[in-house]
Structure 1
Amino acid sequence: MKRSDFIKSGAALLSGTVLLGNETMAEEKQKTNGGTFQLDYAPHQGMFSATAGKNFVDEIKYMHDLGFRSIEDNGMTGRSVEEQSKIGETLAKLGMRMGVFVVPKGGNGANTLAAGKKEHVDIFLKGCSDSVEVAKRVNAKWVTVVPGDYQRNLPIGVQTANVIEALKRGAEVFEPHGITMVLEPLSDTPDLFLRYTDQTYEICKAVGSPSCKILYDAYHQQKNEGNLINLMDLCWSEIAYVQVGDNPGRKEPTTGEVNYKNVFKWLKQKGYTGVVGMEHGMSKSGLEGEKALIAAYREVDSF
């Protein structure tokens, strides 16, 4: 064989080997990641920090590589304007959605909307206005609102009316911007005013705004009331956002008693195309925890 032919032959072989190697790497990555999911699950910061590091933007990019197409960040309003802008730019570049963040100083134990006090409502409305500016930077369409605690010296009907009136004013802030505040009934303490799905449904109907809907967190509602699919179905017209976490423990699906494969199958059949927030901890730490988390979501998404 002539030297020139040998060199050409070797170059072709090397090129083929490199291409084969790249194809194999791509295949392995596809096997590991499994592509995107049937539903739009949204992790939060720290779930993949063992691999991606502590920088949230880097972690978002890694989440995208794993097949996720949304994120959540309850504390977004506490980040600097610069960081918010970087997160928003990264999400836009990757074609990812921003899930919920929490309206700062909304209703809480210190300034419950159930009390009907002007100073409490003013704090809430300031939080709504501030949230609009944050939402613009990260292109958020949903923000979480919790009305706060019971005002136990008032009749329940009066408290409910106070909450409705405050939320009507909040909706007026968000409507022009196409942002929906999603009310989250919680299970953390019996002092909380908003705890049940049907109660939240009634309030949303009374507010009567596209900017006031339900955030249905299946972890909290498994604790408060159970009967998940039936109650979601009854209140479906007012549910705009879903979060999950298994019970007991509030870890990833498959670690507790909730049959999330059936719940997610039902959501898909209902035509739900919104975000499913991964509002929970992890059963294991480090790389082992990350692998367990991915395996759990691949399992419950295989309906």
Structure 2
Amino acid sequence: MLRRNFVKSTLGLAGAAIAAGDAFATAPMAKNKFKLKYASHFGMFQNSAGKDLIDQLKFMADQGFMALEDNGMMGRPVEQQEAIAKEMSRLGMEMGVFVVDKGGNGANTLAAGKQEYIDIFLNGCKKAVEVAKRVNAKWMTVVPGDFERNLPIGVQTGNVIDALRRGAEILEPHGLVMVLEPLSDSPNLFLRTSDQTYEICRGVNSKSCKILYDIYHMQKNEGRLIYNIDRTWSEIDYFQIGDEPGRKEPTTGEINYKNVFKYIYDRSKKEGKSFIMGMEHGNSKQGKEGEEALIKAYVESDGFTI
């Protein structure tokens, strides 16, 4: 090769490399490469990243947490939703769940079968569609509310299924999924176990109505985590994390998260599925020390053999 052509070619390659560098300059090199897609939430790393939400997103991605969940997303100003979505897109992060506003609670129980409650739920679903489009979300949390104690349990279940079917009709054309979350917070809550939620999802019979399996709540309510995940697997679309007791990061309680994560990873890989694993828990220690301990706990729990 003539020297002038060599120099020209070399300069061209260098220029291309610089251009490529510019194109990927915004993509952070994560410090941890996790096997599962863990979704942290705002406030979890504010001592390390500061209170600015965009700076917190950058810190999450830098640590290898490539998804976000934000229960209160529907209540945020539109411009803030758009700014969060823009930064997540730049970082290559995926949006996890947000909670459907008034999607069902103690004062608005779907088990009662009252039209006024159903209307509130359906309006929440319609608003959720717009928020989901804005923030590139697929999943939204729905809790059907409390028991309606003066009605037989079968009638309550039928009322919940009827309401959720109508919600699914709103979400399904947009490819959105409401994930039903059985909870342990109060014995008054209608939805409490994974098998009950499975039954309701099968009754609704829509790809837009699935289970949010919160490992913390299910350890409290039913135990046998891997067994119950296996039995209800076909209807699970989302997981959340928290150790018991305390609802803090993995390794702080009694749950063997390394084994639970391995089961989810192995079966997902075998079936070509992918889950977001929402980090819906607190930090066991305060300050930066607590945030460093949380990251270390996920590195340890994600360190299963494949």
Same topology, TM > 0.5:
yes
Q: Matched residues in 2 for 1:58 and 1:176: separation? A: 34
Q: Matched residues in 1 for 2:130 and 2:67: separation? A: 20
* Partner SS, residue 38 of structure 2: strand
Q: Matched residues in 2 for 1:45 and 1:294: separation? A: 15
* Partner SS, residue 282 of structure 1: coil
Query: Offset at 1:253?
Result: 0.2
User: Where do 1:103-252 residues align within 5 Å?
Assistant: 103-252=100-249
User: Where do 1:63-78 residues align within 5 Å?
Assistant: 63-78=60-75
Deviations 1:235-259 (A, max 9, x none): 1000000001000000000000000
Matched, 1:298 2:295: no
Deviations 1:26-72 (A, max 9, x none): xxx98xx6432000001000111111111111100111111111011
Deviations 1:190-211 (A, max 9, x none): 0000000000000000100000
Task: Identify which range, 113-122 or 272-281, moves more after superposition.
Answer: 272-281
Contact 2:198 2:235 in 1 (8 A): yes
Structure 1: give runs of 5+ residues left out of the alignment. Answer: 1-28
* Partner SS, residue 185 of structure 2: coil
**Runs of 4+ displaced beyond 4 Å:** none
Q: Matched residues in 2 for 1:171 and 1:50: separation? A: 39
* Partner SS, residue 239 of structure 2: strand
In the other structure, the counterpart of 1:286 is 287
* Partner SS, residue 192 of structure 1: coil
Q: Matched residues in 2 for 1:290 and 1:238: separation? A: 33
Q: Matched residues in 2 for 1:221 and 1:40: separation? A: 20
Contact 2:31 2:62 in 1 (8 A): no
Letter in 2 for 1:280: H
User: Where do 1:22-101 residues align within 5 Å?
Assistant: 34-101=31-98
* Partner SS, residue 270 of structure 1: helix
Cα RMSD over matched residues? 1.1
